[in-house]
Amino acid sequence: MYKDYSFSGKDIETYEGLIPEYYREPLRKGELGGIVVMDDDGDSSFVVGIVLYKVTLGYFEIVWVATTEEYDLPDYGADIVRRMLNKVRVHGGFMGIFARFRKGSPMEEYFPEDEFDRTTEVGGVYRFRLKDVDKFAEEHDSKRALHCVALGSVDGEMKNTILAHSAEAHDFIPLAQPVNWESYDQELSFIFQVNDDPKGIILVEKVDDELVLRLLYSKDPVAAIVLLKHSFHMAYDRYGEDCQVVCPVVRDISAGLIRKIVRNPQHVDLIKVQADIPIGSGTMLDFAHYR
């Protein structure tokens, strides 16, 4: 019989083999919750797998599902997800349950198609080399590029101002918090400044042999394109044409910007699965499945 128990950041060491490094800090901070599912026959108990989750706009969002080596089959992952769905139905208080993951992820097999609606979303990650970027410095962008001020030359007040604007907008690439300004390349990251007024920002981090765009924001799409081109131009001069760029995207507008200046960027789609739960829809069958 399956049983499940909640766990938190203080239990990371117990399940660390199932929890990716990048989810451990959010778990410690309480930004994610954890549920472990056990196979319990009364005499012995074994870990089947874990779920990391958060509550998003009234929905139970599954962020991560992983099974132990002994239960490393898609059916066991699907059993865990069904258990979460029945749990949410029985306990109430949620509008539904959903998850997002990259196409081809092992999680794709854990969400039964007869119970979850499945859609493909704009998002995921674009990868390309600097040699694939069209027209680094077009003639009509040369004057606009003068508005790109290197991050190392910008004061803290201006940085915080444009960062606040970007946090409110969520239009382009979201930025992980908290912000460590020193972690970004000070010569490839820029703020688009007009008359001492910050209008846009691009933050680039060097990770091993790749350049990763951590933030791109501007209310003006033209300014966003200028920031991209100028940063790529500087990177080309420093690292050469074979340097790879990684760009996470979340909206049509950010995907459009990349496609506008990059030739055939490689892209992995995001899959969203969702099951809505109308009020009062929990049944005795759900209760029996959960118990």
* Arch. (CATH architecture) of 134-262: 3-Layer(aba) Sandwich (3.40)
The whole-number pLDDT of residue 285 equals 43
Distant-in-sequence, close-in-space partners of 79: CB < 8 Å, separation ≥ 6: 2, 37, 48
Residue 171 backbone class (left: φ over 0; alpha: ψ -120 to 50; beta: rest): alpha
Q: CA–CA separation, 251 vs 123, rounded Å?
A: 6
Q: CA–CA separation, 230 vs 244, rounded Å?
A: 16
Instruction: Give the pair of three-digit tokens for residue 9.
Output: 């950041």
Q: Which residues pair with 210 in a beta bridge?
A: 207, 244
The whole-number pLDDT of residue 284 equals 39
Task: Find the angle CA(215)-CA(57)-CA(166) to the nearest 5 degrees.
Answer: 20
Pick the CATH number of 2-122+271-290 from 2.60.40.1220, 3.40.50.300, 3.30.70.1090, 3.40.630.30: 3.40.630.30
Query: pLDDT (tens digit, 9 = 90+) per residue, 188-198?
Result: 999 998 888 88
Distance (Å) of CA 116 to CA 65, 82, 277, 279: 16, 10, 11, 17
The whole-number pLDDT of residue 271 equals 87
The whole-number pLDDT of residue 22 equals 81
Average pLDDT by consecutive 10-residue portion of the chain (291 residues)?
Answer: 92 92 88 94 90 92 94 94 91 88 86 90 76 66 83 86 72 58 91 88 89 85 88 91 82 70 75 83 46 51
The whole-number pLDDT of residue 33 equals 95
As a dihedral over the C-alpha atoms of residue 260, residue 262, residue 266, residue 269, rounded to 10 degrees, the angle is -20
Residues 64-84: b if buried by 16+ CB within 10 A, e if exposed = bbbbbeebeeeebbbbbbbbb
Q: CA–CA separation, 50 vs 83, rounded Å?
A: 12
Average pLDDT, the chain: 83
Residue intervals of the chain classified under CATH 3.40.630.30 are: 2-122+271-290, 134-262
Q: CA–CA separation, 175 vs 185, rounded Å?
A: 15
Nearest by Cα to 239 from 286, 185, 182, 282: 185
Q: Indicate yes or no: pTM above 0.85.
A: no
Q: Are strands 190-194 and 148-150 parallel, antiparallel or unpaired?
A: antiparallel
Residue 222 backbone class (left: φ over 0; alpha: ψ -120 to 50; beta: rest): alpha
Nearest by Cα to 104 from 273, 272, 271: 271
The whole-number pLDDT of residue 253 equals 63
